[in-house]
Structure 1
Amino acid sequence: MITFRKSLIAAVIFITFIFLLRSSHSSATSSYQDSASASVPEENVDAGIEVTQEHAPGQKKDTLQQPLQPLPNAPLRERLRFHFPYNFDNKFPAYIWQTWKYTPASLWFGEELRAPEASWTQLHPGFVHEVIPDDTQHHLIKYLYGSVPEVFEAFDSLPLPVLKADFFRYLILLARGGIYSDIDTTALKPASDWLPSQLDLTKIGVVVGIEADPDRPDWSDWYSRRIQFCQWTMQAKPGHPILRDIVAFITDETLRMKKAGILKKGKMDKTIVEFTGPAAWTDAVFRYFNDPEYFNIDPTSNSNISYEDFTNQEEYRKVGDVIVLPITSFSPGVQQMGAGDVDDPMAFVKHDFEGTWKEDDPSL
């Protein structure tokens, strides 16, 4: 007969057994997790996270808890580097991005734009070709840059459509990569023909073209830079440092002017060209070319890569992982600055220079 005392003893033994079983399982799990962490090869650790703890050769490293993301107060460029990593070994993404007020499916899409827009699809049948309308850009940038809220704040705060159109091209290429080209451009050759076949495309991250090479004494009356890179057509892999730099620059300048109360039409202390346009883009490219973080630059040398390295260029030029195309490639037929015609072998994209971005404000 089971007495109360026997029942109590049985209960105590059962509870003790359960406790010992759970303790044993917990200990085994902990040992497995520790050994698994120690066996992860060091090259699998995120490249954006540095382990600065020193240890003697052969000494076992302490198991460190790595942060899943940079601290919220980390510099903007570091957070952009983390959220949009760059791997030049990857292929160029098969995207073509364009922007306009309406999509080609809209009745309001101008007939004069249909042939140029269609040329990109016709010459790139395997690509995803998207024309992002103005009312969609807001939602797309909020989605892509939700983890970097000041970037979206800057985009949303820009007072002019042309500023947002400029900023959008850098933002979409940083996040997704591919080709960006203005809606008034015509593709003359597929992107697969832009670069010579002997180039290893896994080692190329950005393709830019020269917009202007004004070799004349009064060049500054007409252009912002002696050599100016165009940003109406660009190709890039996601996360490239040039894109990260230009996005951070525009974000910082936007929020600075917003705080100062001058982020308004007619009040800004930067022109559109210097703020978001080709001058800002050109400066970002040259900053990259002369950045010792990416290039082996002799610290005792006073010479930088400058406009002199690209003036009168007729073929492509490779600088690190960047290909610079001559003025003929994206500006054929301008009949100045040494540009060839649209039938030139180096002519890849024709820009109609319609100034469509000025339609929102003819005074610009």
Structure 2
Amino acid sequence: MAAVPVRRAAIVFVLLVSVILLLRSFSTSAQDAHYQDERPLRIPPQARGQARSSSSQVAVGDAAGLSLLERLRFQYPYDLDSKFPAYIWQTWKYSPDSRSFPSHLRSLEESWTSLNPDFAHEVVSDQSAEHLVQYLYGAIPEVVEAYNSMPVPVLKADLFRYLILLARGGIYSDMDTQALKSAIDWLPDDMDPLSVGLVVGIEADPDRPDWHKWYSRRIQFCQWTIQAKPGHPVLRDIVATIVEDTLRMKRKGILTMSKMDKSIVEFTGPAVWTDAVFRYFNNAEYFQSEEPRNVTYADFTHLTVQKKVGDVAVLPITSFSPGVNQMGAGGLEHPLAFVSHQFEGNLYSLISATVMFEQD
């Protein structure tokens, strides 16, 4: 009988060691991607950080009284002048070495590795994701509690992408995406990557009166593929927003799919992600301007080339949504087609791939 607890303890030990070795291998073997542009953005001292070190972390005792957003800022400082970490993160229920990993996803996974040979590419299983969140956010228990409290896997998957990018940076892309071009080609030659900290793509640009029937926002940024430097303010904002919403609903006893007071799209999906990006664009703390800022959908509708706002590069709809045959998106062979999304299991985007404009 004693052999069973011993065996379980050994399994847990092996998993923890694997996670630690995984993170160490990323920090030592990954080669950084290079990108470059002028920098109209003002990053205030309290929002910047040099390379992550023990001196930049906040001791548990010193964190008393700080808001969640402030603790995230100190725990993961943002260094605009750094390079994009050469990581590619994806998630699935099982790891690729499992027999249960779907065979039709293997070619999609391989596309990322083959086109980005100098990047460390990791498909994180659900079980490993739980250990990673504990490892990376153990000093901020609300984050761990919120992640573990999510009632369905899709919510955890949404939150995990923001958490891993905030802590480690790099590229997150859904498992049902195919890389069409190397990530080093995502920005144009005249855009200085050392002044870009976040790369987002337009998911939807429904320029029609009834757009609200199909999408949550007039311009909607996709979150199936995101590139970021660690600590970016947009990531801090969305993590804090989701964690606080999660714990609020948990305290009220409504953190279930049947009782939640927010839809998945508004809670963790592209709606809340789009809002976080626009909050950043209009935050006077980061952007110097004599007049109040008012960046809206109108600044991005009908976008056909990459556009830089502060330290954020916004890619046109063709880049991450090629071949959808609507809203001005180009085909898979278009020069700016970088990632193809297969929309497998993506509840927010199925509509955009099917019936949206059939009434035209």
TM-score range, shorter chain: 0.7 to 0.9
Aligned pairs for 1:6-85 within 5 A = 48=46, 70-85=62-77
Aligned residues: 294
Partner of 1:132: 124
Deviations 1:272-320 (A, max 9, x none): 0000000000000000000011011335x4x610000000000000000
Aligned pairs for 1:224-239 within 5 A = 224-239=216-231
Structure 1 segments of 4+ aligned residues over 3 angstroms from their partners: 67-70
| SS of match in other structure, 2:151 | coil
Q: 1:139 to 1:68 in 2, by over 3 A?
A: closer
Q: What is the CA distance between 1:103 and its match in structure 2?
A: 1.1
Partner of 2:161: 169
Aligned pairs for 1:1-364 within 5 A = 48=46, 70-299=62-291, 301=292, 304-355=294-345
317-326 or 131-140, which deviates more? 131-140
Q: 1 CA distance for matches of 2:120 and 2:229? A: 15
Structure 1 gap segments, 5+ residues each? 1-46, 50-66, 359-364
Q: 1:257 to 1:220 in 2, by over 3 A?
A: same
Q: 2 CA distance for matches of 1:320 and 1:147? A: 31
Deviations 1:28-84 (A, max 9, x none): xxxxxxxxxxxxxxxxxxx549xxxxxxxxxxxxxxxxx856422211111000000
TM-score (normalised: structure 2): 0.79
Q: 1 CA distance for matches of 2:83 and 2:331? A: 30
Deviations 1:86-114 (A, max 9, x none): 00100000000000011111111111101
Structure 2 gap segments, 5+ residues each? 1-44, 48-57, 349-360
TM-score (normalised: structure 1): 0.78
Partner of 2:33: none
Compute the RMSD of aligned alpha carbons: 1.7
Q: 1 CA distance for matches of 2:347 and 2:326? A: 24
In terms of Rg, which structure is larger?
Answer: 1
Q: 2 CA distance for matches of 1:106 and 1:72? A: 43
State whether residues 290 and 297 of structure 1, in contact with CA within 8 Å, keep that contact through their aligned partners in structure 2.
Answer: no
Q: What is the CA distance between 1:357 and its match in structure 2?
A: 7.4
Q: What is the CA distance between 1:209 and its match in structure 2?
A: 0.1
Q: 1 CA distance for matches of 2:172 and 2:92? A: 12
Structure 2 counterpart of 1:330, one-letter code: F
Partner of 2:51: none
Structure 2 counterpart of 1:156, one-letter code: N
